[in-house]
Structure 1
Amino acid sequence: MFDLLGLSTQHEMVYRAMLERPDLNVAGLSHHLAVPADQVREALDLLADLALIRLDAQSGHARVVRPQAGLMALLAKVEAEVVVRQRQVEATRAAIAAIATAHDDHRRVGEGRLLDGVDAVRERLTELAHDARTECLSFTTGRGQRPDTMQAEGTLNQLALERDVRIRNVYQNSFRNDPATLAHAQWMASLGAQSRTTPTLPMRLVIVDRETALVPIDPDDSQQGALELRAPGVVAGLVALFEQVWRVATPFGEPKAPDGDGLTPPERELLRLLAAGHTDESAARKLSISLRTVQRMMTALAERLGASSRFQAGVQASQRGWL
């Protein structure tokens, strides 16, 4: 019945049993429902993630949140996510339609032109870098940049930064594992540029002064060249796309040092989010990191706490004052 809320039939059964018998512990629920104890613990972890049960910091036991509050709040989250997702789909559809229209009409003077091949794109980027007055925005996809590419871009970006041109770039997370790209980003940061990363990017993109944009002819094959767009409506849509990605991307820099409890800021924030009822997916969105990273962080925290389950990890974290 509650599949939409992320509850399986067994999860719902454990939840209903806790409502009827709040005095039962894990062993009691296992006996009452004729379900193995490890499955009860797994259900409790999920119910805690969904904020349908909460930990009592003093006793360390779980208590059920009133259905009127817990289930309705969960449904409200689902409804809000659906609305946001629909808006993103509509915005993406509009951007695709705008790009498609501009691509069909690329021969129009003042609206755009075709840049055939990589060499043509590089030549145009050099011109734009020299002409930039206020701002350069870009998406960089792939696993790592070639040294000659980074050297050429670095020289142009340095000249632009010296003219007080603001530079912001979003890389894919895979670039974090490339030492050369990391060093390049750190060097650019020392000059005043800003870089962030995100798990995926829709395509390569360069926007100069919010007036000119370069997008690939084929997002899967940048060697084919790019389309230069100047139509205000199209460029505005691409700027909006960049800003949306930038807001949720992770700053490209060194991790912060652990605090007095040995927790890094992302780890403490993850614990806080999970204790507040966020799922792994919503915590990942809040922290601007991937779901796999959240799960890896949670596994490491559970090991440090000596916990065998997510629910037990929450109890231990509360007792240690980490929450």
Structure 2
Amino acid sequence: MPGTGRFAGLGLGSTEEEVYLHLLSTSGGSVQQLGSRLGLTPEQVVDALEGLSGNGLVDCPPGQPPVWSAVPPDVALEELLLRREIELRRARGRIAELVRTYRRGRPDSGAGELVEVITGRESIAELWRTLQLGVRKQLLILDRQPHIRRSDPETELAVLRRGVSVRVVYESRVLREPERLAEIRTFVHAGEQARVLPGLPLKLALVDDRWALLPVSAGSELQSVLLVRPSSLLDALFGMFELYWSQAVRMPTADSGAAPVDRHRQLLALLAAGLTDESIARQMGVSPRTVQRWVRELMDRFGARTRFQAGIQAARADLL
């Protein structure tokens, strides 16, 4: 039975974990002694010791009766981890072969080798989680409706902690949803790079240079998605993301007490994201009249007669 404790990731069973942890804290013991201390049958102890011995975690010097003891963990666990890493690298090397076998067994191969349709919300959520767990270098996202509810935010935070570059372009309507905005700021604080645009053509996720995930059709619910593998189509999707990333503005932060220059940066970002004066006021914690006054200050600062002209001048001044 697989273990669920601190050594489960090393492939140790629950009884093996129990016996090993006990031996770490004692000078050792015979099969009978270990069974008595731990409430296990001799057969359970013998099975556990054989498994631990095979992994190099316990030792039994010659003697009567045999007395088992733990091998120092800094030596034993390091060697076991190394063996597991080698096994994982070998398994990763077999992925391409397994994928070919998978495709040959499907009746809709051919184009399906490059594009696969996944249906069902649970299947889509599980696929997305698997892709996040497997990402190595970068995760690129165009985020518009329909949204996948973050049922496990820790998965995405773990991606950021691993040093993966995460870049997301959000559709500006997300700035009108306080709960969603607070969630995004949590990820930005953890290292996500976030930008905003008034509108996006589709929802898209790009994982390393290996996969793309996008909806089959637009709609309010995500029922079917396309999984795109390396191809000219995948290259085009990467190019499209970079185009929208270059056009987007940085996700604004709400701070009504900021210095004038910082306040103007926030205001310009919100204006560029397409928000109304009322929405901007809610984001910055001020009244709509204050927003209108700040807009007038910007126009006066740049000698602009319209908001559009003020935006052009702000871009030239590197405020956007």
What's the TM-score once normalised by structure 2's chain length?
0.49
Query: Does 1 or 2 have the higher relative contact order (CA < 8 Å, sep 6+)?
Result: 1
